[in-house]
Structure 1
Amino acid sequence: MIHQLKNILSRTIQSRFLHHLLFWVLSFYVLIHYFSYEEKLSKIDYVYTALFHISLVIGVYINLLLLIPGFLRREKYFLFLVCFIVVWFAIAYLNEFTFGYLSDYIAPDYFFISSYEIADLLKFSIVYLGLTTLLKLSESWFAVIETEKKLVEMKQKQSETELLALKSNIHPHFLFNNLNSLYALARKKSDETPHYILQLSDLMRYMIYESNDLYVDLEKEIAYITNYLELQKLRCKNKTKIQYLIEGELDGQKIAPFLMIPFIENSFKHGGLNQFDRDIIDLSIRIENAKLEMNLRNSIPKQSRKEIDPIGGFGIENVKSRLDSLYPNKHELHLSKQEDEFSIALKIELNHEQKY
């Protein structure tokens, strides 16, 4: 019941008819007291004020329904200005015509002498035209603000959905592969087993619990990438040369999670885990002046160069979409495929205005 009442009240408040009705009721109230010579209002005051509004109403709605949508919104400013001036003068002369001729037909029982000259009537008309034009433009402005708000909410939901999709894509195969590697270590009773289990635990904790916000601490994101690389070293052993360099100030920086890891995963998928020959994965991440720059390259095995297209894939396309949504005009991404090497250059401005 309360919810229905709120909906009814909301629709009522947003009703354009109600807005116009209230405007003219307020106008009538102000002018009738302005025109009245006595403290107590008489019938003739109501009739005079009603007649005075005829020209104002006609002029205002010509402006609202024809001039603004026909010229002003289409950026035909000169035509709008010319027509606006014509209507402005037309209101004044129509008001004079109303009391000089129309009043005899509309209110034959009353005799009116309009005490306002054209100059005074022009002042009335410009106030009404100017005020209603501003109100109409502000109405459009509020509509734009509301549209932008809904667009931001849609982008936020889209980003959240894309993040969940990306995380679900990362979880299964990565966990399965690393458990196999840890199982092999455990069978050998290696002293390194607890260390790698702890790294995998930290990595999974971040993936499941600490990366649910649209922006996370850059330090945690880098720690996740480091753990990922160390676990991949365990899997690849000596078959792939993995090297990485991370430098710069991480404290106080924020970044959207999982923007870099799909590229790194991709480099292992198409370069570091093929095991046909000596594979190379080289990663560098530098943070300076609130800007992150990542450069990544991986070799492409000779036996599979014709089969591998490392540029595509769900994860990469997902990241491109998230970059466009979360860092519009604040990032650069370049993908390059050579005969024997694939490289990625990513730049992100970290401390930009976050919309969410």
Structure 2
Amino acid sequence: MERVKKVFVLVHLVLWTLFSLLVVLQLSDEGAWLILTSGFILTCLLVFYGHFYLLTSYSGKKKKRSYYLRLAAIMLIGPLPFVFLHPKGLATWDNSSDYYMMTLVTIVPLFTLLGWLARVTENLVLNTIKKEQLEKQAVETELHYLKSQINPHFLFNTLNNIHTLVYKQAPTAPEAVLGLSSLMRYMIYESNAATVPLSREINYLQDYISLQQLRYKKAPVVDLEIKGDTSSCHIAPLLFIHLMENAYKHSPARLEPGDIKVKVEVKENTLSFSVQNPINKNPDNSLEEPGGIGLPNVRKRLALLYPEQHHLEVNNTGDLFSVILTVHGLQSQPHERETQLLYH
């Protein structure tokens, strides 16, 4: 905001400098042109900025009577510099009144109007910028809230599982602790960026899957397939985690190896992420449909982050639940988002 105000100050200086040069060129042939030019410009400045700052003081106030009285005073006082500095202005009373009335009728109304236009223009620009900043803050707040809605039960369950491993002195306990540490570091620190490398997001997903695997004694229940160059594009952080939570939450308690199928594919500038899981036919909460709160969260974030650049397909066959997310334009996304933030 301060930068915009400095730009307005610079615009005022440039325009007044150009106006002064134009007046000098017009009056340079007159006698005592320097004094005559100074009086004319001082009158213009007095009327223009008198009304300009008067509007600033009374912006949003309802004291119309006080405003009109002060405006009348500015307009009546405005011609005086021109009259006093005019070589013939104070020669006789007739000259003084003629020059005063001529300035009052011609110059004063014009620069009173210009002062109003300048104030209205600046207010319009500043209010537009304030509105955009508030909208940007609201979007960032909502994104932060949506991003933070990761199921806390996962963390508690993971800590309990690690406690069990430590108690049993299992050789996988240190690896589980490192996995949880990496996951928390990513959630707390790295995910604050607008975008992250897709490869880093996949690493986070793999850490999450590894920690969830502590609940199962069989071979990995998640079949994760990765295709394409995941290091060449960026994605909004924590975008896939809700879909993975959803898959675990609504799957049967006993899962066979490979029951949950996850596929990440990068092709040109398009990312495809799909997850499929079997549906638990006897859920603890019969009122909750497969999909839970994860899908609404993902839909809101996608609408804010990738408007008209994504497609989310949800399928429920009764036995299997699948979600396919497609995001376009990933190669240019980090630069585009940075430009948008600078604009706002």
Q: Which range, TM-score by smaller chain?
A: 0.5 to 0.7
- CA shift for structure 1 position 194: 2.0
Distance 1:28 1:279, change over 3 A: closer
- CA shift for structure 1 position 218: 2.0
* Structure-2 residue corresponding to 1:62: none
TM-score, with normalisation over the residues of structure 2? 0.60
Distance in 2 between the 1:242 and 1:12 partners? 57
* Structure-1 residue corresponding to 2:275: 296
* Structure-2 residue corresponding to 1:342: 321
Distance 1:144 1:11, change over 3 A: closer
Distance 1:253 1:45, change over 3 A: closer
Distance 1:182 1:42, change over 3 A: closer
Distance in 1 between the 2:324 and 2:249 partners? 18
| Aligned pair partner of 1:183 in 154, 159, 163 | 163
What stretches of structure 1 of length at least 5 have no aligned partner? 1-5, 54-105, 111-127
Distance in 2 between the 1:186 and 1:25 partners? 78
- CA shift for structure 1 position 45: 9.9
Distance in 1 between the 2:20 and 2:171 partners? 90
SS of the aligned residue for 1:335 comes to strand
Distance in 2 between the 1:42 and 1:201 partners? 76
Of stretches 26-35 and 280-289 in structure 1, the one that deviates more from structure 2 is 26-35
Q: Confirm or deny that 1:147 pairs with 2:128.
A: yes
- CA shift for structure 1 position 265: 0.5
Amino acid at match of 1:311: G
Distance 1:163 1:23, change over 3 A: closer
Distance 1:159 1:41, change over 3 A: closer
Q: Confirm or deny that 1:166 pairs with 2:158.
A: no
User: What percentage of aligned pairs have identical amino acids?
Assistant: 32
* Structure-1 residue corresponding to 2:299: 320
Q: Is the 8 A contact 1:185 1:193 kept in 2?
A: yes
Of stretches 169-178 and 223-232 in structure 1, the one that deviates more from structure 2 is 169-178
Q: Note the alpha carbon deviations across 1:188-243, whole angstroms, 9 max, x for none.
A: 33222222222122112211222222222222211010111122122133499421
What stretches of structure 2 of length at least 5 have no aligned partner? 45-93, 99-109
- CA shift for structure 1 position 155: 2.6
Q: Is the 8 A contact 1:240 1:275 kept in 2?
A: no
Q: Matched residue pairs, number?
A: 266
Q: Is the 8 A contact 1:160 1:214 kept in 2?
A: no
Q: Confirm or deny that 1:38 pairs with 2:30.
A: yes
Distance 1:44 1:211, change over 3 A: closer
- CA shift for structure 1 position 253: 2.6
Distance in 1 between the 2:257 and 2:204 partners? 26
- CA shift for structure 1 position 266: 1.0
Distance 1:152 1:252, change over 3 A: farther
Distance in 2 between the 1:252 and 1:35 partners? 66
Distance 1:25 1:261, change over 3 A: closer
SS of the aligned residue for 1:271 comes to coil
Q: Note the alpha carbon deviations across 1:176-199, whole angstroms, 9 max, x for none.
A: 101122223333332222222221
Q: Is the 8 A contact 2:315 2:321 kept in 1?
A: yes
- CA shift for structure 1 position 326: 1.9
Q: Is the 8 A contact 2:246 2:292 kept in 1?
A: no
Q: Note the alpha carbon deviations across 1:127-166, whole angstroms, 9 max, x for none.
A: x9xxx9xx99xx59x9569736752663355335533553
